[in-house]
Amino acid sequence: MLEIRDAEIVVFDVLGTLVDEPGGLRAEIRAVAGEPAGGPAADELLALWQAHVEAEQGRMARGERPYDDSDAVDREAADLVAGRAGVTDPAAVDRLATATRRLPAWPDSAAGLDRIARHFPVAGLSNASAPALLRLAAHAGLRWHQALSGAAVRAYKPAPEVYRLAAEAAACPPERVLMVAAHAWDLRAARENGLRTAYVPRPAGDPPAAADAFDWHFDGLDGLVTALTGE
């Protein structure tokens, strides 16, 4: 069995694993829509956003809708949220449509990535568009050597072609790619496509089920860093 340090590249899920996606979106929604008395709460508007994104990605996966990148889907979600909240200012809606570019990193993400990146090539692998990943990395202070967007293959995780991007980027066999995520569904798909898998819990993640057989489980990002670097 390969050891964790046999990885040739460490690939991180981004939304939810490195950044607080629901918390950041909730804050952006609250900044634009507020929580007026008798109006929809930010949590309700966040649920509307998330449900739309999940539904539309599912429709694309089933071939019921042509592929659109995350910028287009986020714009649709922002329009829905703004309509529900009664926000009509175009500038406010435009701000909301780009909320994914301003998500906050989890407290240990930037330092953890920096430590790993001194020993391994590090990539982000995300359903977010390439422009969104560029701006998100700058906003959140995330260090990686390459940002890989599913838009490059016109697909969203858990489509197999998205995971193949990681092995192709490093020109190495899939079993030499270590995929790190806080979402069990993401790691299941990575494992099915030959990648090694490491689960790191986050408050808004998707915990493993009893039947999941991921290669490594860590209590936090620091444990992963230590296992990879010995630091």
Position 2 scores a pLDDT of 78
What are the pLDDT digits (tens) for 130-151?
999 999 999 999 999 999 999 9
Q: What is the CA radius of gyration of the chain?
A: 18
Length in residues, the chain? 231
Position 225 scores a pLDDT of 97
Count the neighbouring beta carbons within 10 Å of the beta carbon of residue 137: 21
Contact 127/16 with Cβ under 8 angstroms? no
Position 36 scores a pLDDT of 58
CA 46 vs. chain centroid, Å, equals 16
Q: Which fold has domain 4-20+103-229?
A: Rossmann fold (3.40.50)
Is 21-102 CATH 1.20.1070?
no
User: Model confidence at 204, in pLDDT bands (50, 70, 90)?
Assistant: confident
What letter represents residue 214's amino acid? Answer: F
